Each structure stands twice: as structure tokens, then as C-alpha cells.
Amino acid sequence: MPGQDRGGYTAEYDSDPPRGGGGGPRRNERGVPDSLLVGGLALLLGTTLLVWSSTSLAGRFAHGSWPGGVTFDHTPAALRHLITNPGDLTGAWSATPADHLSGPGLFWTLFLTQLTLLIVLGVYVTRLATFLTTGRTRAQRAQDRARARKADQPYPRHAENRYDAPDDRYGDPGRGGALHHADGRPMDERPERKQLRPNRYEAPAATPQEAPRTPNTTHPSPGTAPAPSVAPALPAPSVTATPAHPRPAAPATPTTAAAAAAAAASPGTPPTQATAPLPVPHPVPPSPSPLFLGPPDARQPLAVQAVRDAEGPALVITSDPAIWAETKDARAKLGPVLLYDPLHLCDTPARLHWSPSRGCEDRDTAALRAKALLAPIRPSAKLDTVVADTAETLLRCFLHAAAVDGRQFRHVHRWAQGSQVQEAVRALRTNPGAASGSAGELEAALTAYPERRDIAQELTARALSALFTVNVREACTPNRTDALTLDSFVAEGGTLYLVGEAIEDPKSRPGAMPLLTALASSVVEHGRRMAERSSSGRLDPPFALVLDDVAAVAPIPQLPALLTSGADRGMPTLALLRSREQARARWPHDELPIPA
């Protein structure tokens, strides 16, 4: 075939037919794209217009009148002159008197101002057009999906049976009346179709030919033939049928026994289909326990799956950065993703900064924050209760003083080390926003029994010892938008990851555990208050808490209450621990629902 090459296709279809009168193949033409040509012309025209308007406005602002001789026709020549000599405005406009023109500074200021306004306006118009186009595209896709779902739905089953009514598609029977079979049955009846397609929505009406339900005590006369019975709707084996291959008899259920007794009591009744046994209700499986004990290899898949299954906001505590890496992209589609990683265990520069003294202007908030900071290192013996309470009072007053006086958290660290403590006393005594009696409580704790005071100050210093590290100190210095982002992530369906190292003995070396515990406790308290303010008393969508290795990362004091009543408030909790001993060591005075 002419024009056919080794590839097996005809070469005459490789190019479009020529637009002119020539009959030869079209050549691959190359030239300047139309968009580039139009863009270049628009740029030249816009620059010329800006130079002309800037010169006129500069003369107006400088001398109070429009400069004469500044015409649009002379603008291209002036533009070429300004490109080579930007400061010679008089030489660019040679036909205009020099006293009618302004200086080059005012001219270029107006030129750049107009250029900036045009760029901003262009960006705004482009974004607006993109937004409108995207909105129309989404609406069209939604309509297409709705049509596709509607098309995929099966046809509804009609309540009426089309085979139950006479077939009158071909008109009335006519004058001669309906046709009948030889046995007197009308032609329009279809018993075979009635047997195959019964009406499931209507109860079978009793007919004279149907066998009575009561036991038949009368016997038919010898000359009378038995009335024919109606065939069953679906063919089924009868009770009296004998199988070809006998099988061991199954134990009779109460339903089948009752059916057999009824059949035996009515000898005149023809054998019917056996009644199916009633379904045995299956027991409802117990709900999964909110507490799981196991090694890290068993905990990680559960934590990842729980984070992915969360429908609303989520708080994730873990010592494994892989959980953050595997779930952050999926959670980013639902809302903002925040990461509090004071030890820089995750490979990302985007980290949340949070100050533990934030919100401590309220005395109750300061008390909860101090309790959470001391939770990892708080002594569990009852003899040390007084010392622990003194340390909690010191830390609460330090947090309250820093909050009402507008100080950074590094001042709290300094006071906890026992340095310049009188600054905190002075702030609580002189600041009008301080709670009444706070200065007296702090002075009483500082002037108490010396041994008790020294041990309490040692506890506060140990709780904040991680602030000597640069990364941890930077993590406690919030940026301008961190506070707003942290407050709004629950309402926006976001996710907060708290990542820290697993510490089994925090009382000797707590690390960043007190800071992680304080932030987790603050977020849980924030969620509880949101649930109390809601009309239903619970969060909707629920606020999922996935606490992996929580005892070694952030042992929050609210964990026992969350495991028992968290789901009722819309805060379902999944706590993953290493062992029972670890749970008893962190929460010795509470009974956790440990699975058997």
C-alpha cells in the first residue's frame, strides 16, 4: 500500500491536511506562541502607561498642576531614555519645562506604588477566578456522583404483582366475551405464573379448595372426588419425602417437633412444607477494652489504626516517631496537624511551641498545671504528701506570678531553681490581676520548715530540669500564632502529636516528661470543658485520645477518669501500656480497667 511504512500504519494520517491549496504534507511549523506575543505587548503597553501616569501624578503632587507636554505619544521615547538613565527625568521629557516636572524620587515612588497595586489586583482577580472555577467544578462533580449513585441503585421492587392481574395489554375481550379453556378456566389466567411469582406482600386468601386448618373429622363420600389443592408457591421437599441417601437424623428443634405433631394430628391434611427453625440470637460481643498491654511491636499497629479511624480531632501521645510519620498525611486531609516535639525526635522543622505558664492567670488552671508538671516525679508514699503539696504550692504560685506579670517561662525555671524568688512574691503582691492570698501562700511555703522547703524546691527544680537544654527551652517559648492554633485545633478536627522519649524511672531523670504531661493534661481539660459547654454534654464528632506508651511519655493524672467515663463525654480513649506493673507504678492510688 502506498504511504505505508514498516510500522503498519499509513503516513497520510500523521498530519492534518494542508490549509492552503497545496497538496503536499504539512510541515512542522515553529514560531513565537500567541500567548507570549500577547503577553509581551501587554507588558510594553502597561509599562508605557505607568510611566506616563507616574510622570503626570508626580508633577501634580510636586507643583499642584499637571505638567504640560507630557503626552502619551512621547512616552515610548521617554521610557527608552529612563532605561538608560533612570535619574534624568528632564532629559526623558525634553518637551516639558523642567520646573513642571518633579524629582526622580517621587516619580519612581509613584511608579512602584502603581505597579504594586496592579500586581496585587491581578493576584486577587486570579485567585477569585480560580475559586469560582473550582466551586463550579466541585458542584459539577457532586452532581455527577449523585447521578452515578442514582444510576447504580437497583430497580425498586413493586408491591403489586403484575402477573396477578389479568393481562389486558391487547384491549378488552370484545363482544363475544372472554375465551375459556375446555375445563371452563378463563384464558387470561396464568396459574403457572402465579405459582412462580407469588405476591409476597399479600396474605394468601382462603379459598374453598384450600384444606382447612382444623383437624378434618369428616370423611369424603365414596362418590365424591377429593378437591384439588393449590400448589405451593415454591417447590419444596415435603416432610414425608425420603432422601435418596439417608443421613443421620438431626436433633429435632421445638419448632420442627411442633410442626410434626400438627401434621400427625390432621390425617386429612396434605403434607406441607416444614416450618423453618427460628434463628438463634447470637450473644453480643463485649466492647473492646480501652486499655491494652503489650510490647511495642504489638502496640504500634493498634495505635496507627486507631489514629486512622478517628473521625474527628485526635490527641496522640507516643514515643515512636514512626506513628507520626505513618499517619500525619492522612490526618492532614481532615484538619491541621500539630507536633509538640521538644527533643526533636521527628524529622520536621514545623513544631509547636507552648509555654506551660499560658492560661495560669486563673488560679485553678495554675493548680492543675502544677499538678501535671509534678505528676511524673511526685512521691507516692503517704509520708511525703506534705512535701509534695508544698512543691505543688510553690510551682502553682510561680506559674501564676509569671502569667499575671507577663513573664516568660524561663523566669519560672529560674524561680524553681531557688534564684530570685522574691520577684515572684513581689509580682503576686503588687499586680492587681493576682489572686488574693497568693503572695501569702508563697511566702509561707518559702519560710516553712527548712527541710521540707528544701525537698520541695528540689522537686520543682527536678521537674523543670529539662529547660537547661536549648531545644526544650525553645519549645517553651511560643510564637505569635501557636496559642491560637492550639486552641482551635479541636474545633477544626485537627490532630496534636506529643512525641517524647520513653522514660521508665522519671523520678531520677524526668527529661521532658513533665512538659509533655502538662500539655496533654491541658488539652484533655480543654476538651472536657468543651463537652460540658455543649448542649448534649459530649463532643460531636468525638475527640479521640490515642495514648501509646503513655506511662513512659506523659502519665496524665486524668487517665483513670478517661478510661471509665471518657467515651460518655465524647472523648474515647485508647491507652497502650507495657505491663500491669507499669500501670500500678504510675497510678498507684487508682484502679485501672486492666484486661484479664
Q: Is 272 helix (H, G, I), strand (E, B) or coil?
A: coil
Distance from C-alpha of 460 to C-alpha of 467, rounded to nearest angstrom: 12
Q: Is the pLDDT confidence value at 268 over 60?
A: no
Residue 143 has what pLDDT? 82
Residue 21 has what pLDDT? 44
pLDDT digits (tens, 9 = 90+) for 236-267: 434 333 444 444 444 444 444 444 444 444 44
Q: In degrees rounded to 5, what are phi and psi of residue 356?
A: -65, -20
User: Across 73-77, 235-239, 263-267, 443-447, which has the greatest mean pLDDT?
Assistant: 443-447
Rounded to 5°, the CA angle 454-429-483 comes to 85
Q: pTM here? A: 0.55
Residue 337 has what pLDDT? 95
Spell out the residues 6+ positions from residue 58 whose beta carbon is closer than 8 angstroms to its own: 101, 102, 103, 106, 107, 110
Q: How long a stretch of residues is the chain?
A: 596
Q: What long-range pairs does 488-493 form, CB within 8 A, spacing at least 24? A: 489/313, 489/335, 489/336, 489/338, 490/313, 490/523, 490/526, 490/527, 490/530, 490/539, 490/543, 491/313, 491/530, 492/313, 492/335, 492/336, 493/312, 493/313, 493/334, 493/335, 493/541
442 pLDDT band, cuts 50/70/90, is very high
Residue 180 has what pLDDT? 54
Mean pLDDT of 450-477: 92
Mean pLDDT of 67-81: 81
43 pLDDT band, cuts 50/70/90, is confident
Distance from C-alpha of 46 to C-alpha of 438, rounded to nearest angstrom: 68
Q: Is the pLDDT confidence value at 58 over 90?
A: no
H or E segment and range at residue 576? strand 573-577
Distance from C-alpha of 75 to C-alpha of 56, rounded to nearest angstrom: 11
Closest alpha carbon to 324 in 311, 339, 305? 339
160 pLDDT band, cuts 50/70/90, is very low
Q: How many CB atoms lie within 10 A of CB 496?
A: 22
pLDDT digits (tens, 9 = 90+) for 315-372: 999 999 999 999 999 999 999 999 999 999 999 888 999 999 999 999 999 999 999 9
pLDDT digits (tens, 9 = 90+) for 91-117: 888 778 877 788 888 888 988 998 899
Distance from C-alpha of 311 to C-alpha of 343, rounded to nearest angstrom: 29
Spell out the residues 6+ positions from residue 46 whose beta carbon is closer than 8 angstroms to its own: 118
Asked, as a colleague might, if the bond just before 541 is cis with ω within 30 of 0, I would say yes
Residue 396 has what pLDDT? 95
277 pLDDT band, cuts 50/70/90, is low
**What is 120-176 written as a DSSP string?**
HHHHHHHHHHHHHHHHHHHHHHHHHHHHHHHHHSPPPPPSS-TTTS---TT----TT
Evaluate whether 548 touches 320 at the Cβ level (below 8 Å): yes
Average pLDDT, the chain: 77
Q: What long-range pairs does 361-366 form, CB within 8 A, spacing at least 24? A: 361/400, 361/403, 361/404, 361/433, 363/396, 363/400, 363/435, 363/438, 366/396, 366/397, 366/399, 366/400, 366/403
Mean pLDDT of 150-175: 50
179 pLDDT band, cuts 50/70/90, is low
Mean pLDDT of 120-137: 87
Which residue, chain included where needed, has cell 463525654?
569
